[in-house]
Amino acid sequence: MSNFYEYDQNNSGGNFGPPAIKVFIEANSVVEAYEIAQDKYGIYFDGVDNGMDCDCCGDRWRIAYHPIDIHKELTELCTYFRKLEHLNQYNVWSKESGCYLIVLHNDGHEEKLSVEDIYNYLPQGGSNV
């Protein structure tokens, strides 16, 4: 059975980089997701040690240790974005990194979601369940 795993980018050095601020990978295990994150997206977890990331900010990427509930994560992001007064900053950061969120499914289908896509994930005042 496959699960989704979340790789979350820290804005080490004051900026975000490709491929996205967050990457959700569907895989059969945390090890498989880890390998896909590195091989397909160039996600790394030792940036400070290798001098690629700011030592005061920390490593750029946070490693996934356990599966996530993708619907719950998208619902929380949608709710968070709707509460923000300054959504434009997230749009700027998303453009720096290519998009806000990439969702890679087990079948290879990849979705690139913008802040607006996530903002509209749930109908206003409702749920898409």
User: For the segment 87-101, what is each residue's pLDDT rounded down to a tens digit?
Assistant: 677 777 777 777 889
Asked whether the beta carbons of 125 and 45 are under 8 A apart, the reply is no
Residues 44-102 have pLDDT tens digits of 999 999 998 888 889 999 999 999 999 999 999 888 888 776 667 777 777 777 788 99
d(CA 94, CA 98) in angstroms, rounded, equals 6
Token code pair at residue 6: 């979340």
Sign of the Cα torsion 51, 54, 57, 61 reads negative
Check residue 86 and give its pLDDT.
64
